[in-house]
């Protein structure tokens, strides 16, 4: 696999580069957001690893721009900031995963393999559209419409909605959502999944008579018509 590393800390970038190449990966590197964007646009990378705090163009803005141009390109964000709000900001910008420094290289390697595998499977199995009631989701363009109304979602909201629509009619636990959408273990001390469910409800349910997202108290959530 071909991995792009965008990191202004030369020591960290070199450690990642060396570790990946020892595992048989090829790499490209950039030390700021603008150079990183140029490389990402010019070449076909299997994944991007980027720091949040980058010179010239920060990681959050860069991730949004890459996600708009290459929606299927997996992005792993590295940061020294580890609060729930920081993680939500990173995921909302379009990152597929979020790793807090300092990290074990073995964990980074596992995350890379997970997000690239998920991206390959998604591309192989992606239908042109998914329809439930008057809600239509177009996976390849990341367009969502309810009736004739186009609904704007962040990348992570889209990913959550896509997962729930793929499993319509089945109760989804918080643990399953955390594992399949965030590729992480659900921490019962946080409420980030409920936060995102509420984001979705406001956008796809609040202004419509028929509700699609339903809560099963103590169990999880179910996506169904009526």
In the chain, DSSP finds a helix count (H) and a strand count (E) of 8, 12
Is the pTM higher than 0.75? The answer reads no
Residue 112 is encoded by which pair of tokens? 């890379």
Q: What is the SS3 assignment for 121?
A: helix
Rounded average pLDDT over 194-219: 93
Dihedral sign, Cα of residue 127, residue 200, residue 76, residue 29: positive
Q: What is the pLDDT of residue 94?
A: 81
Average pLDDT, the chain: 88
Please state, in angstroms and rounded to a whole number, the distance separating the CA atoms of residues 183 and 187: 12
Residue of higher predicted confidence among 180 and 215: 215
Tell which phi-psi region holds residue 57, choosing left (phi > 0), alpha (psi between -120 and 50) or beta.
Answer: beta
DSSP label of 134: T
Domain 2-124 has CATH 3.40.50.2300: yes
Q: What is the pLDDT of residue 97?
A: 87
- Segments of the chain assigned to CATH 1.10.10.10: 127-223
Residue 83 is encoded by which pair of tokens? 């609060």
- Segments of the chain assigned to CATH 3.40.50.2300: 2-124
Domain 127-223 has CATH 3.20.20.80: no
């Amino acid at each position: 696999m071909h991995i792009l590393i965008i990191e202004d800390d030369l020591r960290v970038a070199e450690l990642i580069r060396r570790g990946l190449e020892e595992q048989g990966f090829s790499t490209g590197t950039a030390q700021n957001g603008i150079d990183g964007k140029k490389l990402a646009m010019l070449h076909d990378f299997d994944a991007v690893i980027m720091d949040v705090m980058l010179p010239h163009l920060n990681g959050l803005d860069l991730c949004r721009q890459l996600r708009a141009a290459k929606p299927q390109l997996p992005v792993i964000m590295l940061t020294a900031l580890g609060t729930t709000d920081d993680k939500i900001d990173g995921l909302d910008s379009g990152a597929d995963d979020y790793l807090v420094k300092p990290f074990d290289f073995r964990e980074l390697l596992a995350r890379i393999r997970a997000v690239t595998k998920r991206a390959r499977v998604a591309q192989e199995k992606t239908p042109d559209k998914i329809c439930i009631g008057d809600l239509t989701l177009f996976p390849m363009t990341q367009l969502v419409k309810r009736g004739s109304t186009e609904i704007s979602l962040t990348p992570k909201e889209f990913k959550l909605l896509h997962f729930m629509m793929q499993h319509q009619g089945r109760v989804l636990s918080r643990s399953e959502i955390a594992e399949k959408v965030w590729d992480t273990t659900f921490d019962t001390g946080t409420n980030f999944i409920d936060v995102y469910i509420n984001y979705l409800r406001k956008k796809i349910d609040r202004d419509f008579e028929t509700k699609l997202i339903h809560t099963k108290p103590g169990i999880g959530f179910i996506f169904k018509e009526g």
